[in-house]
């Protein structure tokens, strides 16, 4: 198939170069043509994280351009499984690494818009609709994989944000350790909301050492019961 972009053409030229050089020296090769992908650690410069950033941060009407395309998305988990399977079987030649299923880019935008409750938006469609879907008939025969990557599952980890709620009352000796245990976690898409229930020790002084904390403070206790005060703290966290 003829490439539809400059980027696609550079990949085709790279393939031709590899084939020419390797065949001349009689070296076996395997070229995996990986189609569109996403994963929970994907950074800016890719469609889904960039769409998420634009939609989440926009305060005005959102203009969404150039989404009138069909693409073939496959998760990094399945890509890894396929590559290891090809290595194990010592496959030689060119093969598409894809799901074989079309996904309209507007469907991705709709999921993100719904997630952030954005209703003020407009699509400006490109004139020419393009379709890039992988033919995976060869892949199915070789690997026997059933690739099932629903779009919601593909973008779930890019959209999710974990809120860690912590209540504190006069626990200056332990609060620093608690916060460090959260910060040291490998998963970085989280926020820390801490409710301090009118502490009289050095808790607030300790908390000021941590910059990325959403801090709520009570000037005085509302209830006599520690349990009720803790419940009140959690409810206050949910309000922000």
Share of the chain above pLDDT 90, in %: 32
According to the model, what pLDDT value does residue 83 have?
A: 93
- b vs e for 63-98, b when ≥16 Cβ sit within 10 Å of the residue's Cβ? ebeebbbbbbbbbeebbeebeeebeeeebeeebbbb
Report the sign of the C-alpha dihedral through residues 142, 33, 128, 119, in that order.
Answer: positive
| Residue 175, burial from CB neighbour count under 10 angstroms (0-12, 13-18, 19+) | buried
Q: Is 132:71 a contact under the CB 8 Å cutoff?
A: yes
pTM, full prediction: 0.65
Tens of pLDDT, residue by residue over 51-67, are 888 888 888 899 999 99
According to the model, what pLDDT value does residue 2 have?
A: 76
According to the model, what pLDDT value does residue 1 have?
A: 64
Q: Is 100:147 a contact under the CB 8 Å cutoff?
A: yes
Is the pLDDT at 238 greater than 80, yes or no?
no
According to the model, what pLDDT value does residue 222 have?
A: 77
Tens of pLDDT, residue by residue over 76-102, are 888 998 999 999 999 999 999 999 999
CA 187 to CA 76: how far, in whole Å? Answer: 17
According to the model, what pLDDT value does residue 21 have?
A: 92
User: How many C-beta atoms lie closer than 10 Å to residue 112's C-beta?
Assistant: 20
Report the sign of the C-alpha dihedral through residues 55, 77, 70, 9, in that order.
Answer: positive
- For the record, the structure tokens of 167 come out as 């209540």
According to the model, what pLDDT value does residue 91 have?
A: 93
According to the model, what pLDDT value does residue 26 have?
A: 92
Is the pLDDT at 31 greater than 80, yes or no?
yes
Q: Is 153:187 a contact under the CB 8 Å cutoff?
A: no
């Amino acid at each position: 198939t003829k490439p539809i972009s400059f980027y696609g053409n550079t990949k085709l030229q790279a393939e031709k170069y590899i084939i020419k050089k390797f065949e001349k020296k009689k070296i076996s090769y395997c070229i995996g043509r990986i189609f569109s992908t996403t994963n929970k650690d994907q950074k800016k410069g890719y469609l889904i994280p960039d769409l998420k950033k634009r939609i989440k941060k926009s305060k005005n009407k959102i203009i969404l351009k150039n989404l009138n395309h069909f693409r073939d998305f496959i998760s990094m988990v399945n890509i890894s499984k396929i590559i290891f399977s090809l290595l194990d079987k010592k496959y030689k030649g060119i093969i598409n690494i894809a799901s074989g299923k079309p996904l309209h880019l507007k469907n991705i935008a709709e999921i993100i818009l719904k997630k952030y409750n954005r209703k003020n938006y407009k699509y400006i469609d490109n004139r020419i609709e393009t379709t890039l879907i992988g033919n995976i008939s060869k892949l199915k025969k070789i690997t026997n994989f059933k690739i099932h990557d629903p779009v919601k599952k593909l973008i779930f980890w890019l959209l999710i944000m974990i809120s860690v709620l912590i209540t504190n009352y006069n626990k200056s000796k332990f609060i620093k350790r608690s916060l460090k245990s959260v910060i040291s976690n490998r998963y970085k898409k989280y926020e820390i909301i801490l409710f301090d229930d009118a502490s009289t020790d050095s808790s607030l002084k300790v908390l000021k050492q941590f910059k990325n904390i959403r801090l709520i403070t009570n000037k005085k206790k509302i209830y006599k019961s520690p349990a009720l005060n803790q419940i009140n703290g959690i409810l206050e966290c949910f309000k922000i």
